[in-house]
Amino acid sequence: MLFRSEQKISRLLHYLKSKKCLLILDNLESILEGGTQTGNYRSGYEDYGHLLKQIGSVPHQSCVLLTSREEPTNRAHPDDEGGVALKKKGMRS
């Protein structure tokens, strides 16, 4: 299974490098554990952590927008890789 995931990640990275793409990963918290395991990936979704690390560490010409109420624990920090992290507090009613 890991080999197949590696192939898919490699293919996506190829597109991010060769084309100007906008990749939006919305509501990432839906694949993260809650409670005491906050920020860790749920069982079966661990490959997303590898994907985020690869996207953050491999030079490309694309834009990746990640939205989440929780921050994943194992990813490249966007400020270290030429990206920007914006944290928004809850909205007032």
Q: Per-residue pLDDT averaged across 1-11, rounded? A: 83
Provide mean pLDDT across the span 66-85: 67
Mean pLDDT, residues 73-87: 60
Which of residues 14 and 82 earns the better pLDDT score? Answer: 14
If 0-12 CB within 10 Å is exposed, 13-18 middle and 19+ buried, where does residue 84 land?
exposed
